[in-house]
Amino acid sequence: MQTIKGRVREVRRIASPVPEPQALAIADGFFWMSSRGVPTLYRVDPQNWTVEHTESAPGAIWGLAPGPQGLAAVCGVGADDDRYLYHYDFEGGFRADHHALPDLTGAYVAYDDASQLYLLTQWYKKRVIELDDCAKAIRSIETPHELCGICWVDGGFYLLGTDDEDTDEYFVSRLDFGDDAPQIEDVARLGFPGRSVAFEGRHLWSNHRAADEIVGFELP
């Protein structure tokens, strides 16, 4: 049985500038966020933690990630909250073209600079799906936990996951692609029910949605 090293060390915990913070990405010198169920993208200045720009989105934003030309956004559209991949340009806003995600599901997303593929999480199916730019599935990777966040760091990915979303038992795992099968290792306990994970160069960040807070942390 795998032994988890310990709990993350929180370095900052601040009030979220938006209620029920859901999606989180760090790019172009800003924190980019969404509020649960709200079709709006928020650009947050990390110097004073205030919203300095808002933009209407095609649907509620469930996941965000830095991409090659701006942000990738997973949006829920329509009465059934069907999930689509959209692209947001820092200068031009949301592009009109968008692509249906596999099974019209998925929430959190990351971009792999090396393979130029997107990685999409499917929470209850416990898997990550590699996608091309048109959201076509390349392959699926099974994961040990239900997934509530993913981000790219130093050639691999950090995942947030849980076995019971109604507890504080949430985990940080590392996903690496070697020459053989992908390897996933639990590296820390998160200690709170996180939503999304992002990296700003020194620390990982996640939303503590139930507390309306954003948390920066280090791994043990």
Report the pLDDT value the prediction gives residue 177, as an integer from 0 to 100: 87
pLDDT tens-place string over residues 33-51? 999 999 999 999 999 999 9
Q: Is the pLDDT of residue 2 over 90?
A: no
In a domain, 74, yes or no: yes
In a domain, 35, yes or no: yes
In a domain, 190, yes or no: yes
The proportion of the chain whose per-residue pLDDT surpasses 90, expressed as a percent, equals 93
Q: How far is it, in rounded angstroms, from Cα 196 to Cα 33?
A: 10
Q: Give the distance, in angstroms, between the CA of residue 199 and the centroid of all CA atoms in the same chain.
A: 10
Q: Is the pLDDT of residue 71 over 60?
A: yes
In a domain, 2, yes or no: no
Q: Is the pLDDT of residue 84 over 50?
A: yes
Neighbours of 16 (CB within 10 A): 23
Per residue in 71-93, is it b (16+ CB within 10 Å) or e — as a string? bbbbbbbeeeeebbbbbbeeeee
In a domain, 4, yes or no: no
Q: Is the pLDDT of residue 1 over 60?
A: no
- What pLDDT band is residue 178 in, cutting at 50, 70 and 90? confident
Number of domains in the chain: 1
N-term to C-term CA, the chain: 19
pLDDT tens-place string over residues 132-171? 999 999 999 999 999 999 999 999 999 999 999 999 999 9
- What pLDDT band is residue 3 in, cutting at 50, 70 and 90? low
Q: How far is it, in rounded angstroms, from Cα 181 to Cα 184?
A: 10
Position 78, amino acid:
G
Q: Is the pLDDT of residue 182 over 50?
A: yes
Close Cβ partners of 46 (under 8 Å, ≥ 6 residues apart): 29, 30, 31, 200
Q: Is the pLDDT of residue 76 over 90?
A: yes
In a domain, 20, yes or no: yes
Range of the domain at 200: 9-218
Report the pLDDT value the prediction gives residue 186, as an integer from 0 to 100: 97
Report the pLDDT value the prediction gives residue 18, as an integer from 0 to 100: 98
* Average pLDDT over the chain, rounded to an integer: 96
Q: Looking at residue 184, which CATH number applies to its domain? A: 2.120.10.30
Q: Is the pLDDT of residue 218 over 60?
A: yes
Averaged pLDDT, 63-70: 94
In a domain, 148, yes or no: yes
